[in-house]
Amino acid sequence: MLAGRLAQINVNLPVKTDTTKQLERFKQAVLECLDVQELVPLVLNKMIEQIEIGSLEVVDSHKQKEITIVWRLTGKSAKVVRKFAGQVL
């Protein structure tokens, strides 16, 4: 039983090491960008891998778009729904 658990830990260890390295690179990039006064291409290129902007949709009489941001150093993505002011008749 312990040998099986040890084998599983050894399998998962490289994954955790890769995640730790990714988070360390992300942390370093964030620290470099803390004093940024404006969003310039250099900052965007360091932090963001890809931005996807969905098509305009009408939901409950309101216009909205889905925006997906893929972070460069973590490989994770975040989805944001942007609602626009005003109603569609």
Tens of pLDDT, residue by residue over 31-76, are 776 666 777 787 778 778 888 888 888 888 888 888 888 887 676 7
Between 49 and 84, the higher pLDDT residue: 49
Q: Which tens digits make up the pLDDT trace of 14-36?
A: 666 677 787 888 777 777 766 66
pLDDT at residue 46 in the model: 78
Name the phi and psi angles at 64, rounded to 5.
Answer: -155, 155
Task: Assess whether pLDDT exceeds 50 at residue 3.
Answer: yes
Cβ-based burial of 70 (10 A; exposed 0-12, middle 13-18, buried ≥19) = middle
pLDDT at residue 70 in the model: 85
